[in-house]
Amino acid sequence: MGIKRYQKIIYIIILAVSVIWCAGILIAPLWTGESGFRGSTSDLFYSFYAKSCHQLDSRSFHLGEHKFGVCSRCTSIYFGFLLGVLVYPFIRKLNNIDLPSLLFLFIGVALLVIDVGLDLLDIFKNTYVTREVSGLIIGVILPFYIIPGTIRVFFEFFSPPNVIPKK
């Protein structure tokens, strides 16, 4: 089975959304304090990202004196996700709609939960390095589930019956 057009389109959409998402993280501090369109766009990005991130100044990267649109862990997750999307077609084919072993996903999530949990329990205070590493790992892993999962859902909903190969 060759790569279908919709598989490429789904991949390109996921890639484009990832690029825009990561660009917003950097545009927010770059355009902070400016007037007009740029200032409004910066405010919009900060407000948008605030719905999913605490944006604590002390836990965020900065461009000059302005923090990124999200904290350092979220930055690593999102840029890791973008990296995973970029390398995905070199590691797996777009027509491979089988998900990798869930063990990889569980390991990535476990590392993140351990880092957060140890910090919350005051056993080990996490650092920029632990937040970035745990965020980057889960970020890189996620596309390997989201891309084939999205392609599979599209395939199952929009293909005629009896076309989906049986294992």
Q: How confident is the model at residue 60 (pLDDT cuts 50, 70, 90)?
A: very high
Q: Which amino acid is at 124?
A: F
Q: Is residue 78 part of a domain?
A: yes
pLDDT tens figures, 109-144: 999 999 999 989 989 888 889 999 999 999 999 999
Q: Is the pLDDT of residue 163 over 60?
A: no
Say if 80 falls within a structural domain: yes
User: Which secondary structure element, helix H or strand E, spans residue 125, and what is its range?
Assistant: none
pLDDT tens per residue across span 68-104: 999 999 999 999 999 999 999 999 999 898 999 999 9
Q: Is residue 82 part of a domain?
A: yes
- 21 found inside a domain: yes
- First CA to last CA across the chain, in angstroms? 15
Asked if residue 12 belongs to a domain, the reply is yes
Q: In angstroms, rounded to a whole number, what is the distance separating the alpha carbons of residues 23 and 6?
A: 25
31 found inside a domain: yes
**Does residue 137 fall inside a structural domain?**
yes
- Domain coverage including residue 26: 5-158
Distance in angstroms (rounded) separating the CA atoms of residues 11 and 32: 32
Domains: count for the chain: 1
